[in-house]
């Protein structure tokens, strides 16, 4: 028989306001095996922990029940107390009387009986608990960073500088991400490329960093410290080691009319292409969908003109298998498709463009060489209307947009209007806004500069319609809420600050990594405040806009945080493994394979083994669990038709004891 | 054409008075396309948009009765007037989802079975697209309107509130353009096609309505429209009574359909421009 101590926490008034905690403790004293029960204000505090430690000594406790918050919050805390005082940490059960009781009930009449039931359930289970021993697993001293934008670049550099090996997997043919597409950065107006490209070069030259561009994560298995990852390295049809990046192939390629993705479709590229001059690696990719050679078997000009004979149409895709101790996800964002906002003229007039397209137009490496011109006729606009919050801060039932604030648009719109005035003397900029949000160092000063020094015309209100006029101008129909009147502006160009959303590649990747994502496809953190860069899956971290909208400095700071978390993991030589894994009972197992079929982690295999059953010796096919692969999900225990499979710490007997206790 | 299918048909009061063409051609075209429109007995005015503006149950009962009648006959309910469609579909949504309205309306109506939003409400355009099929409409066209550049004028009542009406994308609707294409004409998309025509504000602020309609015509003309079509009697009235630059001819969608199907009357009855479009609103106006 166990000697059980029950510890009921008030959690200040969090629990005590709707649960009569003393009654719960009193009721516990009558439960089988309970030798001590007490309530206390904050059981997780040092004094609360000492109370448990003292009780273990005084009453010779062999098992502990803590009635408190969710086990996700403090199970580890109480297990540690038990272990330090000679009780096996797996002899601790948590009865969640906060999230699942006091917080969901309004008064003690409801809360107290339920808390007592939950306490009884935990006591019933702990009576059947058995001490479990954690195993040990080695740590692979190499990190994987998925995504080669500024978030991934910074994370990789920080990990590599700590002395650990890092691989970056980037699906595009160059690293750099969105930041490479930007012109200037707010609020300092330093050139985005100028601060990014040295970082890109550093990545390329760092002895600890390997770069897999034009590559995708294909498969992930294993667990924290020991991930097995398959990386699909797509064929560039150009040998990286031979190519000098001279670009002759691009000048000669006859397939020239492909919308240039890097310039957001504002101009064309060739089928063999390097997106921009500072690309890393500076090696082209042949786009097989548009290449004449791949479509018809003819052409082959690039191979003929290449001075270093680097073009090779026969190169095949390659799968690289590597082991990693930690994974950082930094897949970034994209701007939402603005074609849904036809009323604002996107897709109707060429002179209505997205803010990211405008960045490309302003950029010296862009389609116009940095000259601000209208896409329709190449003329310099003298009047530009910027519309903010296009698709941001929408109503929940608005299927076109997002409910959240995209956070960066207010600042880059101020920047774009300032830059427009700098590029085009005498230009007039108007900005339609809902609110101007400028919390950040030197942010509000920057916005006021746009208003006060550059005379940017900020109009509080929405735009309902943009109509093209016969003279080539655009008529913007909006409302000025401060003046309480309708506004009609005839302008040369309209720039839409479209909402940002996570890059769509995160969805399949999240499935591969068993990560949780929110309604908007942003990654969920393990804890919004206390574990902001950790995923709920151990060993996986996140950085940048895959977690939520953020600007460059925030992204870089978060990348550093993710890197430290990854390094803290890589620095360990061994990790403790979860002992709550599945275990088959040989006498009940009939080798039917049902459990192996439901196991999501491939942890179950079969062996032929001689067993002795009622004095009869025979060879049987039996299930066997690899404890380092098993995550303790319990799927096999439910699927097993003969009840042979048990999850340690959650055995069928224990679960049934809990159910019985609720039903009594 | 295949089998004749029956639909309950709520014409609405305007189609009996000022918008007879919209009604007449809706029926004759439906017949030609294999759909029989059956008018419920003793239907009453849907109330214009006023039932939506108050929580009075009395204003909603007309729609509830028509909806219940369709249910009793096991038919879907078709309307062609934008205002009727708007009101009936929204009342139907209330009857399905707002317990208070559901209870009070049923207490008044005393049907054999309480009505709880079972009837499917279709606009005439949805009947053409989803039940008959635009491809079938295209096959039935005998006089294609080839070469005509027609702009669709949606107005507001068909499209909003979009979460309840679920008629089309409220900002980028396309059902009428697809309809125009089926008739062999060239649909011209213009930005102002889903704007407000001024609606009932025509009564107390005609200048405002004129200004709004002027913007619509200017944009339609700039985009290359030669004529506009609409399903709404109120839009038809406000657009046709406009006096100013850029004005374009405006016809009912059913009239254009009849033309393409080759069943347009030789001498159509002159559409009436005097008075306000919606019958019941005419009375309301007089009182005011």
ipTM field: 0.84
pLDDT at residue number B214: 95
Residue that finishes a domain, picked among A449, A469, A501: A501
Residue where a domain stops, chosen among A126, A155, A185: A126
Containing A414, the helix (H) or strand (E) segment is: helix A409-423
Please determine, for residue B276, whether its predicted confidence score (pLDDT) is greater than 50. no
| Residues B148, B269 within the same domain | yes
Split at pLDDT 50, 70, 90, the class of A614 is: confident
Are B222 and A477 in contact (CB < 8 Å)?
no
CB within 8 Å: B222 and A467:
yes
Mean pLDDT, range B115-136, rounded to an integer:
96
| Confidence (pLDDT) at B222 | 94
Strands A92-96 and A135-138 turn out to be unpaired
pLDDT for A325-345, tens place per residue?
A: 999 999 999 999 999 998 999
Average pLDDT score over chain A: 95
Please check whether residue B79 lies inside any domain of the structure. yes
Question: Mean of the pLDDT values across residues B239-254?
Answer: 94
Instruction: Give B279's pLDDT tier (boundaries 50, 70, 90).
Output: very low
In the predicted structure, residue A185 carries a pLDDT above the cut 70: yes
User: Is residue B137, in this structure, part of any structural domain at all?
Assistant: no
CB contact under 8 A, B172 and A342: yes
For residues A188-202, give the mean pLDDT.
Answer: 96
Residues spanned by the domain of B16: 5-123
Q: What whole-number percentage of chain B has pLDDT above 70?
A: 91
B163–A343 C-beta distance less than 8 A: no
Residues B162 and B283 in one domain: yes
Given A474, A501, A528, the domain boundary residue is A501
Same structural domain, A375 and A399: yes
Mark whether B116 and B236 lie in a shared domain: no
pLDDT tens digits, residue range B55-86?
Answer: 788 889 999 999 999 999 999 999 999 999 99
Percentage of chain A with pLDDT > 90?
91
Contact A469 B222 (CB under 8 A): yes
The two most distant CA atoms of chain B are separated, in Å, by: 56
- Model pTM greater than 0.80? yes
As a whole number, mean pLDDT of residues A657-662 equals 95
For residue A8, what pLDDT band results from cuts at 50, 70 and 90?
very high
B191 to A465: CB separation less than 8 angstroms, yes or no = yes
What are the chain A neighbours of B222 within 8 Å (beta carbons)? Answer: 467-470
| B202-233 confidence digits (pLDDT tens) | 889 999 999 999 999 999 999 999 999 999 99
From B96's Cα to the closest Cα of chain A, the distance in A is: 19
pLDDT at B118 over 90: yes
- Let me know whether A325 and A411 are in one domain: no
Residue with the bigger pLDDT between B111 and A135: it is B111
Is the pLDDT assigned to residue B277 strictly greater than 80?
Answer: no
pLDDT, mean of residues A254-269: 96
Question: Do A484 and A459 meet the contact criterion of CB atoms below 8 Å apart?
Answer: no
> Could you give the angle at the alpha carbon of A361 between the alpha carbons of A356 and A362, nearest 5°?
95
Give a yes or no: residue A137 inside a domain.
no
**CA proximity to A362, closest of A193, A501, A199:** A193
Please answer yes or no on whether B195 and A465 come within 8 Å at the CB atom.
Answer: yes
What number is the average pLDDT over the span A396-401?
Answer: 86
pLDDT at B190 over 90: yes
Closest-CA distance of chain A to residue B164, Å? 11
Residue with tokens 């735009």: A463
Task: Write out the DSSP string of A485-530.
Answer: EEEEEEESEEEEEE-EEE-TTHHHHHHHTT--B-TTSPBPPSBTTT
B152 and B224 housed in the same domain: yes
User: Is it the case that residue B282 has pLDDT exceeding 50?
Assistant: no
pLDDT at A347 over 50: yes
The number of distinct structural domains making up chain B is 2
pLDDT of A217 strictly over 70: yes
Rounded CA separation A117/A106 (Å): 17
Q: Among the listed ranges A72-76, A176-180, B7-11, which one has the minimum average pLDDT value?
A: A72-76
Nearest CA in chain B to A398: B163
Residues from B contacting A (CB-CB < 8 Å) are: 163, 169, 171-172, 189-192, 194-195, 215, 219, 222-223
At A483-521, the pLDDT tens digits run 999 999 999 999 999 999 999 999 999 999 989 999 999
Instruction: Name every chain B residue with its beta carbon within 8 A of the beta carbon of A465.
Output: 191-192, 195
One domain for residues A217 and A189? yes
Domain shared by A87 and A151, yes or no: no
B chain contacts of residue A469, beta-carbon cutoff 8 Å: 222
Subunit contact A470:B222, Cβ cutoff 8 A: yes
pLDDT grade, residue A261 (50/70/90)? very high
Tell me the three-class secondary structure of B243-282, residue by residue: CCCCCCCEEEHHHHHHHHHCCCCCCCCCCCCCCCCCHHHH
Q: Count up the domains in chain A and report the number.
A: 5
Query: Residue B219 sits in a domain of what CATH number?
Result: 3.40.50.11810
Cβ contacts (< 8 Å) between A397 and chain B: which residues?
A: 163
Q: Give pLDDT, residue B270.
A: 53
Same domain assignment for residues A213 and A261: no
Facing B171 at nearest CB: one of A342, A467, A469: A342
Residue B58 lies in a domain: yes
Say how many C-beta atoms besides its own lie within 10 A of residue A244's C-beta.
12
* A477 at interface of B, judged by CB pairs closer than 8 A: yes
Mean of the pLDDT values across residues B22-49? 91
Same domain, B76 and B203: no
pLDDT digits (tens, 9 = 90+) for A548-592: 999 999 999 999 999 999 999 999 999 988 899 999 998 899 899
The distance from CA B158 to its chain's CA centroid, rounded to whole angstroms, is 7
Evaluate if residue B280 carries a pLDDT over 80: no
Greater confidence (B3 vs A142) lies with: A142
Q: How confident is the model at residue B267 (pLDDT cuts 50, 70, 90)?
A: low
pLDDT (mean) for A241-256: 96
- Give the residue-averaged pLDDT of A347-360: 97
Contact yes or no for A467 and B194 at CB 8 A: no
Rounded Cα distance, A120 and A664, in Å: 10
Give the pLDDT score at A615: 83
Q: What is the pLDDT of residues A44-54, one digit of tens each?
A: 999 999 999 99
- Same structural domain, A21 and A87: yes
What's the Cα-to-Cα distance from A348 to each of A340, A376, A538, rounded to whole Å? 11, 11, 48
Three-class secondary structure assignment of B121-157: EEEHHHHHHHHHCHHHHHHHCCCCCCCCEEEEECCCC
Domain limits for position A210: 142-234+317-332+503-570
Q: Specify whether A321 is located in the same domain as A192.
A: yes
Asked if residue B129 belongs to a domain, the reply is: no
A397 with B222: Cβ contact below 8 A: no
Burial A33-65 (b: 16+ CB within 10 A, else e): bbbbbbbbeebbeeebbebbbebbeeeebbbbb
Candidates B191, B195, B222: best to mutate against A (most CBs of A within 10 A) is: B191
């Amino acid at each position: 028989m166990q000697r059980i101590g029950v510890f009921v926490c008030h959690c200040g008034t969090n629990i005590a306001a709707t649960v009569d905690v003393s009654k719960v403790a009193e009721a516990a004293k009558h439960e089988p095996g309970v030798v001590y029960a007490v309530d206390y204000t904050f059981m997780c505090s040092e004094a609360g922990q000492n109370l448990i430690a003292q009780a273990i000594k005084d009453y010779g406790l062999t098992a502990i029940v803590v009635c408190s918050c969710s086990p996700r919050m403090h199970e580890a805390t109480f297990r540690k107390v038990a272990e330090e005082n000679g009780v096996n940490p797996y002899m601790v059960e948590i009865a969640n009387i906060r999230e699942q009781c006091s917080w969901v009930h309004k008064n003690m009449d409801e809360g107290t009986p339920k808390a007592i039931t939950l306490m009884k359930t935990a006591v019933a289970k702990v009576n059947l608990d058995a001490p479990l021993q954690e195993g040990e697993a080695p740590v692979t001293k190499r990190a994987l960073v998925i995504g080669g934008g500024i978030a991934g670049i910074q994370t990789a550099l920080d990990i590599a500088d700590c002395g650990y090996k890092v691989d970056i997997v980037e699906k595009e043919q160059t690293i750099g991400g969105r930041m490479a597409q930007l012109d200037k950065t707010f609020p300092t107006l330093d050139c985005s490329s100028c601060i990014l490209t040295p970082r890109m070069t550093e990545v390329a030259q760092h002895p600890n960093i390997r770069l897999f561009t034009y590559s995708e994560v294909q498969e992930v298995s294993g667990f924290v410290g020991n991930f097995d990852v398959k990386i699909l390295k797509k064929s560039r049809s150009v040998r990286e080691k031979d190519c000098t990046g001279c670009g002759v192939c691009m000048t000669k390629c006859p397939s020239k009319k492909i919308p240039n993705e890097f310039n957001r479709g504002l101009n064309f590229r060739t089928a063999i292409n390097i997106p921009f001059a500072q690309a890393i690696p500076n090696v082209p990719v042949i786009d097989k969908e548009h290449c004449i050679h791949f479509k018809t078997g003819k052409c082959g000009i690039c191979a003929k003109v290449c001075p270093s004979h680097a073009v090779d149409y026969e190169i095949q895709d390659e799968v690289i298998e590597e082991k990693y101790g930690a994974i950082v996800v930094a897949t970034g964002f994209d701007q939402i498709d603005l074609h849904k906002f036809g009323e604002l003229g996107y897709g109707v007039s060429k002179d209505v463009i997205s803010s990211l397209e405008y960045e490309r137009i302003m950029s010296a490496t862009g389609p116009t060489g940095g000259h601000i011109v209208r896409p329709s006729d190449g003329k310099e606009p003298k009047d530009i209307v910027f519309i903010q919050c296009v698709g941001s801060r929408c109503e929940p039932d608005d299927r076109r947009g997002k409910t959240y604030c995209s956070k960066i648009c207010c600042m880059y719109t101020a920047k774009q209007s300032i830059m427009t005035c700098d590029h085009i003397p005498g230009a007039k900029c108007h900005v339609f806004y809902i609110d101007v949000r400028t919390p950040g160092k030197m942010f509000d000063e920057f916005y006021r500069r746009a208003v006060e020094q550059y005379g940017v015309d900020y109009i509080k209100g929405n735009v309902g319609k943009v109509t093209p006029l016969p003279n080539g101008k655009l008529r913007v129909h909006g409302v000025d809420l401060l003046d309480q009147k309708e506004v009609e502006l005839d302008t040369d160009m309209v720039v839409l600050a479209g909402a940002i959303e996570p890059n769509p590649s995160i969805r399949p990747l999240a499935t591969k990594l068993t990560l949780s994502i929110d309604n908007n496809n942003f990654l969920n953190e393990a804890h919004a405040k206390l574990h902001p860069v950790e995923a709920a899956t151990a060993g996986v971290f996140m950085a940048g806009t895959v977690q939520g909208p953020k600007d460059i400095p925030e992204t870089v700071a978060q990348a550093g945080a993710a890197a430290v978390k990854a390094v803290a993991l890589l620095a360990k030589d061994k990790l403790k493994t979860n002992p709550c894994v599945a275990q088959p009972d040989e006498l009940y197992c009939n080798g039917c394979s049902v459990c192996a079929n439901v196991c999501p982690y491939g942890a179950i295999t079969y062996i032929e083994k001689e067993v002795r059953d009622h004095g009869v010796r025979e060879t049987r096919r039996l299930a066997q669990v690899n404890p380092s692969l098993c995550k303790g999900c319990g799927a096999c225990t439910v699927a097993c038709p003969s009840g042979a499979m048990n999850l340690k710490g959650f055995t069928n007997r224990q679960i049934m004891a809990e159910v019985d206790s609720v039903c009594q | 054409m295949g089998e004749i299918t029956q639909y309950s048909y709520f014409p609405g009061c305007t189609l009996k008075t000022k918008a007879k063409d919209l009604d007449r051609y809706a029926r004759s075209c439906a017949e030609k396309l294999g759909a029989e429109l059956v008018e419920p007995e003793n239907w009453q005015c849907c109330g214009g948009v006023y039932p939506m503006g108050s929580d009075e149950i009395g204003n909603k009962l007309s729609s509830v009765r028509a909806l219940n009648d369709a249910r009793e006959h096991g038919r879907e309910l078709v309307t062609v007037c934008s205002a009727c469609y708007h009101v009936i579909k929204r009342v139907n949504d209330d009857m399905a989802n707002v317990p208070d309205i559901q209870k009070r309306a049923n207490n008044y109506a005393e049907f054999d079975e309480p009505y709880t939003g079972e009837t499917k409400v279709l606009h005439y355009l949805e009947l053409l697209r989803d039940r008959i099929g635009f491809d079938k409409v295209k096959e039935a066209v005998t006089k294609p309107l080839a070469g005509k550049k027609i702009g669709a004028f949606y107005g507001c009542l068909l499209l909003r509130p979009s979460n309840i009406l679920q008629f089309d994308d409220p900002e980028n609707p396309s059902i009428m353009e697809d309809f125009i294409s089926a008739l062999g004409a060239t649909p011209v998309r213009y930005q102002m096609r889903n704007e407000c025509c001024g609606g009932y504000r025509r009564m107390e602020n005609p200048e405002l309505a004129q200004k709004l309609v002027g913007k619509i015509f200017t944009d339609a003309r700039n985009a290359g429209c030669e004529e506009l079509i609409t399903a709404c009697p109120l839009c038809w009235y406000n657009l046709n009574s406009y006096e100013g630059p850029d004005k374009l001819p405006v016809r009912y969608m059913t009239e254009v359909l009849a033309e393409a199907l080759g069943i347009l009357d030789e001498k159509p009855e002159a559409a009436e421009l005097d008075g306000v479009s919606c019958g019941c609103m005419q009375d309301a106006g007089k009182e005011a």
